[in-house]
């Protein structure tokens, strides 16, 4: 099956700085890569996703990049705010498969 690795496990940044979280995947057939944000006591919430035919996608302060050759994708958060503090998970899935493989999560702490 697929193996998704995520780094770093914890990330602390100053408010206003940028944060980058990286994931690698093992199965070259994976073609859809969502990112989820999980706040304490809540379920994961989809924040952005990218398909394998796209190299980069941006939504306001959040962007995701994908390098299919290297099999890695990254989440970039610019101008971080305290409310960005949460655990972020990357995930990967193959076309026509129904389950996602998740990374182990990154706890982001944005210090005011």
Partner 1 sequence: DTGVSQDPRHKITKRGQNVTFRCDPISEHNRLYWYRQTLGQGPEFLTYFQNEAQLEKSRLLSDRFSAERPKGSFSTLEIQRTEQGDSAMYLCASSPTTGPFYGYTFGSGTRLTVV
Q: Which is nearer to partner 1, 17 or 95 (CB)?
A: 95
27 touches partner 1 by CB under 8 A: no
Cα 30 to Cα 43: distance, rounded to the nearest angstrom: 24
Cα 98 to Cα 84: distance, rounded to the nearest angstrom: 29
34 touches partner 1 by CB under 8 A: yes
Choose which of 7, 51, 61, 111 interacts with partner 1 (CB under 8 A): 51
- Note whether 64 and 57 are within 8 A (CB): yes
Q: Which is nearer to partner 1, 43 or 112 (CB)?
A: 43
**CA distances for 60 relative to 27, 29, 38, 77, 79, angstroms:** 30, 29, 19, 9, 10
Closest CA to 75 of 29, 11, 15: 11
41 touches partner 1 by CB under 8 A: yes
Q: Which is nearer to partner 1, 77 or 91 (CB)?
A: 91
**Which residues of the chain form contacts with partner 1 (CB under 8 A)?**
4, 6, 32, 34, 36, 41-46, 49, 51, 89, 91, 95-96, 98-105
């Amino acid at each position: 099956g697929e193996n998704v690795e995520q780094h770093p496990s914890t990330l602390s940044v100053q408010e206003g700085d940028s944060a980058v979280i990286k994931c690698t995947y093992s199965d070259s057939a994976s073609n859809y890569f969502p990112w989820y944000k999980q706040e304490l006591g809540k379920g994961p919430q989809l924040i952005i996703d990218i398909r394998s035919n796209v190299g980069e996608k941006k939504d306001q302060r959040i962007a995701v990049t994908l390098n299919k050759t290297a099999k890695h994708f990254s989440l970039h958060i610019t101008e971080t705010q305290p409310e960005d503090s949460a655990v972020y998970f990357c995930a990967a899935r193959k076309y026509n498969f129904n389950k996602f493989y998740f990374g182990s999560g990154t706890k982001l702490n944005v210090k005011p």
